Structure 1
Amino acid sequence: MTELTIKRAYAPAQEDDGFRVLVDRLWPRGMSKAREHLDLWIKNIAPSTELRKAWNHNPDTMLEFAASYRRELDANPAVEELEQIIREHPKVTLVYGARDPDVNHARVLRDYLEERLGGAQ
């Protein structure tokens, strides 16, 4: 069974992060690609630019955003790519750049994947 976690890009990478996947459409500001220790960057798994801008990380509209993002994920072929990675690794960390550890798309993505995979097999 894979352990699926989320982590801010600005937190130091650690050995126990497992396979690290950046799940943002944009590279996190001020971060060095050499220091990030990422195994993969899946830009297309992130919310569309239109959805991200409309939401603007507003905590008051988090539920509405999550529903819209899940609809996007339902039609997104990048989900299958990420699911395959999760099946192949004992631990996968979804890396994101947002400031708030609770109000971010990576949390929605993690929950969505866990539901689809039955607890992140």
Structure 2
Amino acid sequence: MLQVKRVYEPPSSADGFRVLVDRLWPRGLSKERAHVDLWDKDVAPSAALRTAFHHEALPWDVFATAYRAELAGSPAVDALRAIVAEHDDVTLLYATHDEAHNHALLLREALTAPAG
């Protein structure tokens, strides 16, 4: 199972292998409290795209299209897909407050799509 969860939520045994998919470490969160098994910065949105979305009010649909394009050309997605295949349960962790509009949802979509 591949799930998505805010990194600030308490870890659970159901999380399985926990992967932080943000480029920056979450504010105010110690590494011990985060219980992260892997910090994969390479699958996070580029710094320019992240800044445009979070600080310059880039609309969600424009962000989603641009991030999908970044993911489509990224060998990091294939590497993470291989790691995900090694575990029964994987949780993609993100820090943003918006549970409906965040890059981890788009990344899960890319990881579960047929490779090609």
Same fold (TM over 0.5): yes
Percent of residue pairs bearing the same amino acid type: 51
The letter of the residue matching 1:115 is A
The letter of the residue matching 2:66 is S
**What is the distance in 1 between the residues matched to 2:17 and 2:2?**
10
Number of matched residues? 114
**What is the distance in 1 between the residues matched to 2:100 and 2:110?**
15
Please point out which of 31, 44, 47 is paired with 2:45. Answer: 47
Ranges in structure 1 where 5+ consecutive residues have no aligned partner:
none
TM-score by length of 2: 0.92
Residue pairs, 1:1-121, within 5 angstroms: 3-56=1-54, 58=57, 61-116=59-114
Runs of 4+ that moved beyond 2 A: none
- Residue-by-residue CA offset, 1:18-66 (whole Å, 9 max, x unaligned): 10000000000000001111110001110000011111275x7111111
**What is the distance in 2 between the residues matched to 1:49 and 1:84?**
25
TM-score by length of 1: 0.88
The letter of the residue matching 1:101 is E
Ranges in structure 2 where 5+ consecutive residues have no aligned partner:
none
